[in-house]
Amino acid sequence: MSLPWSYLRDLVQQALGRADAVADLLRFNFCVWTQAITRAISIAAWTACQAPPADAELVGVPCYGGLDLGQSDDFSAWLRGWALDDGRLVVKCRFWLPESALTKYPLRPYAEWKRAGVLTVTEGPTTDYGAIERQIATDCDADGVREVAYDNRFAEQMAQNLAGQGIVMVHTGQGFQLHEAIRRKLELVTAGTLCHGGDPILAWMASNYVVRHGTKGEMRPAKERASEKSTARSRSIC
């Protein structure tokens, strides 16, 4: 039994700009074998996303946070997100690395990002969690953050400390439990309504963002197959 041409046309239209959807379309409708691992984000679509509004437009808009901690040579990421009534999602990010990571990966643009003021480098072989905790507490107070979702790997103690300061901390499961968040994120990128402000670190992470598909089409980040060690930190934009 063949599929109607109009049905396939609609599927193709829906898949435009989404690498993950193109892979599914080829595999399930055109009998083209594709890998279970897919580079998920079209950089052209990412670059075309709308500019963020002025800060004044965010006043009073519900704000939520996302935290994902690295340790010795990986990013720690703290993100705040504002969902506007018109469908845009505004995100602002802060990133940290220990100074040892700059020595370990001299060819990565870490030093450039530090000079540009978009990356905070802490002294020593591991990231200074105390500095991150203080910044999160400051941001939550300034922006009225309602909840902070976090991956408890490395973050259990910090989550307890922040909860003790009155910040609502929500442990977020990883793996395929992130499917809906990933799907929504990709929709926002395709629609151009993820207002990321051209953050260079987030763009680098997006360019390396890889997903693995499960047997039912569900998605999870595939950190182990990313070409750069950035995929885990980009989970924070889910």
Residue 65 within a domain: yes
| pTM of this structure | 0.76
Residue 177 within a domain: yes
Residue 13 within a domain: no
pLDDT at 40: 72
Q: Is residue 185 within 8 Å of residue 238, measured between CB atoms?
A: yes
pLDDT at 72: 81
| Residues in a beta bridge with 144 | none
CATH number at residue 199: 3.30.420
Q: What is the rounded distance in angstroms from the CA atom of residue 9 to the CA atom of residue 21?
A: 14
Residue 203 within a domain: yes
Q: Is residue 204 within 8 Å of residue 216, measured between CB atoms?
A: no
Strands (E), the chain: 37-39, 63-68, 76-83, 89-98, 120-122, 145-150, 169-171, 194-195, 210-213, 219-221
Listed residue (194, 198, 197, 238) closest to 84, CA to CA: 194
Residue 119 within a domain: yes
Torsion over CA: 126, 198, 145, 142 (sign):
positive
Torsion over CA: 4, 5, 8, 14 (sign):
negative
Name the amino acid, one letter, at 198.
G
Domain hosting 182: range is 42-208+224-237
Residue 231 within a domain: yes
Residue 4 within a domain: no
Number of domains observed in the structure of the chain: 1
Residue-level pLDDT, tens digit, the chain, 238 residues: 444 656 556 655 665 555 555 555 444 444 444 444 556 788 889 999 999 999 999 999 999 999 999 988 889 999 999 999 999 999 999 999 999 999 999 899 999 999 999 999 999 999 999 999 999 999 999 999 999 999 888 899 999 999 999 999 998 866 666 777 788 888 999 999 999 999 999 999 888 888 777 767 777 777 644 445 443 344 444 4
Residue 106 within a domain: yes
